[in-house]
Amino acid sequence: MKKNHLFSALSLLLFCFGMAQSYKKPLVSAIKESDLRKDMYELAADQFWGREAGTLDELKVSMWLADKAKAAGMEPAGDNGTFFQFFDMYRHQVIPQSNLKIGENNLKLWKDFLVAEPVNAHLDSEIVYAGNTEPEDLPKLNIQGKVLAVNASDKNIAKEMTLFVRRYPGFVRTKYYNKAFELGAKAIIFITDGTSEKSWVEVLPQMTRGTYGVEGLRESVANGIPVLWIKRENTGWVKNNPKISLTLITETYKYPSVNIIGKIEGTDPKLKDEYVLLSGHQDHDGIRHPVKNDTIYNGADDNASTCVAMLAMARAYKKQPGKRSILFVFHGAEERGLLGSRWHASHPVVPKEKIVAVLNGDMIGRNSLEEAALLGGNAPHKNSEELVKMAEEANNESTKFRYLKDWDSPDHAEYFYFRSDHLPYAKAGIPAVFFTSVLHDQYHTPQDESENINYKKLYKMTEWMYRTSWKVANEAERPKVIPNFTLER
């Protein structure tokens, strides 16, 4: 009996070992740091003027990517046998014919006051000046049917984040908006404090551009109330309950944007009909206000880094395909609100149920060579135990990054999990993770250039993504979504 048990145990062990070795090792040697560097210096060059979504520059870089995808061995997987999946992005903008009068003062749009988000509005009302009132004390005031004027305050706003000055007006808005709306305010006027005074120059181009969406929807601001900003030197305009007359007129403009999509077919007769989706975004911020005498926001790390990594992975898959097929999606218009990934998640080029997992990268070429983050690797953002396990096993095999787990916390000030192209797929019920080497002080500045990329780090991140994708492409069982997974934000 003992011999039989020993024989059975050995048989089971050999069977399991055989199953574990049922596919080849990933062809890491096909990924070259020299290829990553060469592609980076082309993609993040000044010739594409920052690749802003909805411009000819984005379309030009899309052509470059399509040519590179073909050369790397991809077959076209976009619309009508091409590499392109075009979609319309819509820009909603406040127009110059809008006007504001407070008391006897006729104010000039973008000079005397800013409009934080485009809504159509026409109101004649009274201003309630609330001074330094915090949101929890607003119910003590009678603001029903009136316009709330309040001093901006950084109380209870986390300051440990990148681009805090640029993002600060949005945090102030969020802090007050829901309570004011609930109490029936017709609009909010924020009076700048020191931080928002500094932000005026930076947020002005952003506010004049307006907001962006897909399919013509005005989305979260569709039924909102106006949010205005004035400078604290003009606080006298809103004191003593003056009358206010406000007319905001918005117009909507349609622009083309595009996802670049290619594929490399798998080898298994059945599994090749399933897809591992490798994801990155091709666009960045275009031409903006100067920083250190440079106005071109090249976006080398954000996110040319993942685009060149995807090309490198494609070359490896061309030389040695996996059992499942690989779908490469270079999303457009990520910087305008994840528009390309939202579009493709709603209009996938392959049946949604055939996408077994999404491996998204964003900013994978900077910071410590030893550290990286896997967002979606921990609760409550984790939506697939099996997918995360594959990513962790891939890291243990070679790259051995120390995990920056705090970046995946729901309490992290950056809320970084919610800011890249895996998100629409996770919301659609597809296993998804986000590989990143996290932010740095050149994030969204013209200094995010090819020369500042850590190419050894970029190589290691590319290898980690590739090893993970290889496991997903070849394991017999596809990753499952955790039952009842929901996203709170």
**pLDDT for position 21:** 52
Judge residue 85's burial from the number of C-beta atoms within 10 Å of its C-beta, 0-12 exposed, 13-18 middle, 19 or more buried: buried
Could you read off the pLDDT of 463-475 as tens digits, one per residue? 999 999 999 999 9
d(CA 352, CA 428): 9
Q: Which of 341, 221, 356, 346 is nearest to 282 (CA)?
A: 341
CB 193 within 8 A of CB 154: yes
Could you read off the pLDDT of 57-78 as tens digits, one per residue? 999 999 999 999 999 999 999 9
**pLDDT for position 218:** 57
| Sheet of 114-115, strands arranged across | 105-107, 99-102, 243-248, 121-129, 147-151, 187-191, 227-230, 114-115
d(CA 392, CA 373): 11
**pLDDT for position 7:** 47
d(CA 404, CA 415): 14
The yes-or-no verdict on residue 250 having pLDDT over 90 is: yes
E strand map for 34-152: 75-76, 84-94, 99-102, 105-107, 114-115, 121-129, 147-151
User: What is the SS3 string spanning 6-65?
Assistant: HHHHHHHHHHHHHHHCCCCCCCHHHCCHHHHHHHHHHHCCHHHCCCECCCHHHHHHHHHH
Percent of residues, the chain, with pLDDT higher than 70: 94
H or E element at residue 229? strand 227-230
Could you read off the pLDDT of 295-311 as tens digits, one per residue? 999 999 999 999 999 99
E strand map for 155-222: 187-191, 211-214
- Across residues 141-162, what is the average pLDDT? 94
**pLDDT for position 289:** 85
* The residue to which tokens 């998640």 are assigned: 345
Could you read off the pLDDT of 100-130 as tens digits, one per residue? 999 999 999 999 999 998 999 999 999 999 9
d(CA 417, CA 98): 37
Cα dihedral value 75, 76, 77, 79, nearest 10: -160
Q: How far is CA 218 from CA 91, 118, 119, 213, 253, in A?
A: 9, 9, 9, 7, 12
**pLDDT for position 3:** 46
**pLDDT for position 216:** 66
Between β-strands 84-94 and 211-214, what pairing exists: parallel, antiparallel or unpaired?
antiparallel
d(CA 265, CA 244): 63
**pLDDT confidence bin for 222, thresholds 50/70/90:** low
The yes-or-no verdict on residue 19 having pLDDT over 70 is: no
CB 262 within 8 A of CB 279: no
**Domains of the chain: residue spans and CATH:** 23-89+257-474 (3.40.630.10), 96-248 (3.50.30.30)
d(CA 88, CA 73): 28
Radius of gyration of the chain (CA): 25
Terminal CA-to-CA distance of the chain, rounded, Å?
58
H or E element at residue 206? helix 194-209
The yes-or-no verdict on residue 10 having pLDDT over 70 is: no
d(CA 459, CA 33): 6
| 380: preceding bond cis by omega (within 30 degrees) | yes
Could you read off the pLDDT of 313-337 as tens digits, one per residue? 999 999 999 999 999 999 999 999 9
**pLDDT for position 280:** 98
Query: How many helices (H) and strands (E) would you count in the chain?
Result: 10, 20
- Across residues 418-445, what is the average pLDDT? 97
Question: What DSSP state is assigned to residue 109?
Answer: B
Q: Which of 228, 218, 338 is nearest to 283 (CA)?
A: 338
